Structure 1
Amino acid sequence: MKKLTKSLAFVFLLFALLTGYSVQAFASTSSYKNTIDSFNVTTNSKYQPSGGNTYCNIFAQDVMKKLSTPLPNGTCSTMLNALSGNKNPHWKSITATQAQSRANNGYSTIGITSDHIVVVYPHGNTASTVKDVYMSMAGYKCFNDTKITYAWKSTRLSEVKFYSYY
């Protein structure tokens, strides 16, 4: 059994290398969740709003860097531009339903507009609409494992683009 497990791990690694898929794609849901939680976004002073500034991009970039699935640098607008049209070889555009499903399965996943970004949180639910997506964010307030409607007003939810790391 031990030999079979090592063989399967090798096959997954070889597959990832040959196809360009990230080895992170095989991370566990608990590992993804624990990584997000480890940043203590609701209390960590690094991410709290200060002097009119918010740090949603810094939080999302820090989480993804720790997961070895780095986001483009810069503001939300700069990141969105770099991600749009699937210009990045690993970050691919997906639907809100796919975003929640991929996060639930341990894949690095974000929601983004030109002025805000969230990390999609593995909540275990099935999202039938964008309002059902759970997220963690820094911003005007900092939230963890909370519905996406805390990040954007309902009138702006149609603007949110979702991306996941492949």
Structure 2
Amino acid sequence: MSSTGILFVCLGNICRSPTAEGVFRRKLAEKPQLKALLEVDSAGTAAYHVGEPPDRRSAAVAARRGYDLSVLRARAVMAEDFEKYDYVLAMDQQNLFNLQAVCPPQFNGHLSLFLDFAGKQDAEVPDPYYTSGDRGFEEVLDLVEAASDGLLAHLEAELLR
């Protein structure tokens, strides 16, 4: 059986999408049967931070909850991502628009906002980059954890039925 690909996308791939990747990977590790069927990555629609690690504030807040983001490095979304990934999940409406603008017509996957999987239609994971303190990063983590749980439940129903 071929793997199902999941790509989390924000603007620079240093705050929200690597947090989503790290959270989802750890939650997925607790589900070995599902883990064997999935490939997970993150990317940004802008190439501002290619090759850089996640924002230190994202990494610190994630680490306090047991998520390790240290091995992740920012990369830009590429045209091939629409061939490789079945789920392309944007953190906010602007990045969803950016993805829709470059999405090839033959893409048969799922392109949506990530928080749709938390039961929050049209809701966005806010960008914490310009916030002071950790509160914005904590909020991102709360939202990402909820959406990750919803996505895992969806994938279990879809792939393990």
- The two structures have a TM-score, normalised by structure 2, of 0.30
Q: Which of structures 1 and 2 has the bigger CA Rg?
A: 1
- The two structures have a TM-score, normalised by structure 1, of 0.29
